[in-house]
Amino acid sequence: MLNKLILNAFLSISLALSFTGAANATLISQDILFDSALDTVDEFEVIGNITISLDTIDNWGMVSVWESFTFYGYEADTSADLFSAFVDLDNISAGIESLDFDVTLFSSLSFSGFIDGYDPTAGFTYSFFDNADASLVTTGTLAFGNTTVVPTPATLVLFLTAVAGLAARRKNS
């Protein structure tokens, strides 16, 4: 009986540890808020969302590629003239600290901007260009909205293994 219990415990641990390295991507998803320079009322609205993976982070907390980057409901192209996001490695639940980007949408629209999480009202930090006629569509201030940190799938596997172990133990008792 004790040997079977120990064998089941080692099997559960080895199963859980085999999944920990399989998909270990923590994702940070954050809303992008915009306040137009033409508005007389300071009111931010959600215009996009950025999702980055901590698998691509360097030792300084910089991420230079995105998982998902949307503006006005449309996904930005995967190439960018400029993209860098900084995350505090000691507090990833705080979200992205700063974001600097110059990206293209549909090869005819360009978005460029800078968001500083510590000072969201640091002047005009966003420009939206129409590349077809080289005109400026709008400009204004960007800020970060709600942050969502998606934990690693390995945490879920460890939790489910523990629950299965408790259920098996209760069944044997």
Contact assessment for residue 25 and residue 54, using Cβ atoms and an 8 Å cutoff: yes
115, HSE (Cβ side, Cα atoms, 13 Å)? 27
The two tokens of residue 138 are 């709008």
* Residue 85, pLDDT score: 92
Q: What is the pLDDT of residues 81-109, one digit of tens each?
A: 789 999 988 888 888 999 998 888 877 88
Report whether pLDDT(9) > 70.
no
**At which residue do the structure tokens 């999944």 appear?**
19
Residue-range domain boundaries for the chain: 2-22+154-172, 27-150
Question: What integer best gives the mean pLDDT of the chain?
Answer: 78
- Of 15-24, 66-75, 110-119, 156-165, where does mean pLDDT reach its minimum? 15-24
- Of 52-66, 96-110, 139-153, 159-173, where does mean pLDDT reach its minimum? 159-173
Phi/psi at 124 (5° precision): -75, 115
CA atoms of 101 and 47, how far apart (whole Å)? 15
Phi/psi at 131 (5° precision): -70, -25
- 12 vs 8, 88, 163, CA distance in Å? 6, 34, 11
